């Protein structure tokens, strides 16, 4: 089975996660895919294959070298984003893309155009796997899984490439921020690992946002509107006031690079009670803490104005910037950098404007930077992945294994 065949098979599985269930995996369909992968890894002759009740699948490619070599791991997630359906994905390959518009769905006039997505033009002449415009594709992160499995197969078929013990790990629920929660780092048994979950070719990431979730609840007082003067307190207006107290220029649509933000992700409201939900993000830990304090200050300010208990804040940290855990072991970045250069990929070290399982794993004792998987426009109908991107990612995995063994 080729890398492309493997990827096309994987995206046929609907593995959308769901944060509302409180289960791990959050959806039973992820376990269906995990069982398929387990059977595939068994057929490929991998060893120490385990699939636990929470959907974490581990396997080993044994070392083919006598000397002591660090055990390293490659990790990818099985779920797809709740943002759009991953059911009945119908991919097609646009061979030798010519730079023009790609009609995904003629009947609904859904077009993947370089006018809206100029990054398409960087892949002229390549073979692009696209959707039919009705679902996401699932390259995030089934491209990563396909690359890892294909790299392992390649290493088995080329014993002249010497490598140490390699562990592979496939987990559920990354898209809802819980992919690493029940990941057994001790059982995985690696000195370090790499998540294959980045985007464009060359991406190498060891910095990510510090992240928190905030829920702000506003209590109103409902009175018949005909007799409401000086009595009614409309919680919807309180919520609107709070939203406008946060700086408009510190929203995601106005920030880039290392700039953090407050992102309003949900609002529910009636006169009696309203709730707004935010995610808070910043690469700088001190600025991150300041953002949370600003939320607390604004809540206190509104309670002073409307009465204690009118506004309550529920705040929880989600994950932290892995940089502080990677900096002491920067050789693992150097190795990935050298591997990319060796296979003709220009490394692009950049901060993740988001999170990754690797961040949580790094804080659990498994340093785990993130490497490109090759897909673009994740989480929606315009998602695509160049075949050549996946091939390069697979080569990087093989080269990392080789370089670790050669040192």
**pLDDT per residue over 203-237, tens digit each?**
999 999 999 999 999 999 999 999 999 999 999 99
Whether 152 contacts 145, CB under 8 Å: no
**Mean pLDDT, all residues of the chain:** 96
pLDDT given for residue 355 in this prediction:
79
Q: How many CB atoms lie under 10 A from the CB of residue 146?
A: 30
**Domains identified in the chain and CATH numbers:** 3-207+321-406 (3.40.630.10), 210-319 (3.30.70.360)
Single pTM value for the model? 0.88
In sequence order, what are the beta bridge partners of 75? 169, 195
Residue 40 annotated as catalytic: no
Q: Which of 389, 397, 344 is nearest to 119 (CA)?
A: 389
Q: Which of 14, 79, 147, 391 is catalytic?
A: 79
Q: At what angle do helices 387-406 and 331-342 cross, to 10 degrees?
A: 120
Distance of CA 26 to the CA centre of its chain: 16
pLDDT given for residue 189 in this prediction:
98
Spatial separation of the C-alpha atoms in residues 62 and 52, rounded to whole Å: 21
pLDDT given for residue 407 in this prediction:
84
pLDDT given for residue 131 in this prediction:
98
SS3 65: coil
Those residues whose C-beta lies under 8 Å from the C-beta of residue 331, and which sit 6 or more positions away, are none
pLDDT given for residue 356 in this prediction:
83
Those residues whose C-beta lies under 8 Å from the C-beta of residue 230, and which sit 6 or more positions away, are none
Residues of the chain with pLDDT under 70: none
Q: Beta 210-219 vs 311-319: how paired, if at all? A: antiparallel
**pLDDT per residue over 387-399, tens digit each?**
999 999 999 999 9
Whether 295 contacts 263, CB under 8 Å: no
User: How many CA atoms are closer than 13 Å to the CA of 166, on its beta-carbon side?
Assistant: 27
Residue 243 parent element (H or E): helix 235-245
Query: How are the residues of the chain apportioned to helix, strand and coil, as percentages rounded to the nearest 5?
Result: 35, 25, 40
Q: Which of 14, 174, 178, 197 is catalytic?
A: 174
Q: Where are the beta strands (DSSP E) in 109-252?
A: 110-112, 128-130, 166-171, 192-198, 203-205, 210-219
Residue 174 annotated as catalytic: yes
């Amino acid at each position: 089975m080729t890398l492309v065949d493997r990827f096309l098979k994987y995206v046929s599985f609907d593995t959308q996660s769901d944060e509302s269930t409180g289960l791990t995996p959050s959806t039973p369909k992820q376990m269906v895919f995990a069982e398929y992968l387990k059977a595939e890894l068994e057929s490929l002759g991998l060893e120490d294959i385990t699939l636990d009740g929470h959907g974490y699948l581990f396997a080993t490619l044994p070392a083919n070298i006598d000397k002591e070599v660090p055990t390293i791991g490659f990790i990818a997630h099985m779920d797809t984003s709740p943002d759009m359906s991953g059911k009945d994905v119908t991919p097609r390959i646009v061979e030798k893309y010519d730079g023009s518009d790609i009609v995904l769905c003629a009947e609904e006039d859904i077009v993947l155009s370089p006018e809206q997505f100029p990054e398409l033009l960087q892949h002229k002449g390549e073979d692009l796997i696209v959707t039919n415009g009705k679902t996401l594709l699932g390259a995030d992160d089934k491209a990563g899984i396909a690359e890892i499995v294909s790299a392992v197969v390649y290493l088995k078929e080329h014993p002249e490439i010497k490598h140490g013990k390699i562990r592979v790990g496939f987990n559920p629920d990354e898209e809802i921020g819980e992919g690493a929660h029940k990941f057994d780092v001790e059982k995985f048994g690696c000195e370090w690992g790499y998540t294959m979950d980045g985007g464009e070719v060359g991406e190498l990431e060891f910095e990510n946002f510090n992240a928190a979730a905030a829920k702000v609840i506003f209590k109103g007082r409902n009175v018949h509107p005909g007799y409401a003067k000086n009595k009614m307190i409309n919680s919807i207006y309180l919520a609107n006031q709070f939203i406008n107290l946060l700086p408009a220029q510190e929203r995601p649509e106005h920030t880039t690079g290392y700039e953090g933000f407050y992102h309003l992700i949900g609002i529910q409201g009636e006169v009696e009670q309203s709730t707004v939900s935010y995610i808070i993000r910043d690469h700088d830990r001190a600025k991150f803490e300041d953002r949370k304090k600003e939320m607390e200050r604004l809540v206190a300010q509104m309670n002073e104005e409307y009465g204690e208990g009118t506004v309550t804040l529920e705040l929880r940290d989600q994950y932290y910037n892995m940089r502080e855990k990677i900096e002491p072991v920067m050789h693992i970045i150097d190795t990935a950098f050298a591997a990319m250069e060796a296979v003709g990929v220009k490394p692009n070290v950049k901060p993740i404007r988001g999170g990754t399982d690797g961040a949580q794993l790094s804080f659990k004792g498994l340093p785990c930077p993130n490497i490109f998987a090759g897909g673009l426009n994740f989480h929606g109908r315009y998602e695509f992945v160049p075949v050549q991107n996946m091939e390069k990612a697979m080569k990087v995995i093989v080269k990392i294994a080789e370089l670790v063994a050669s040192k």
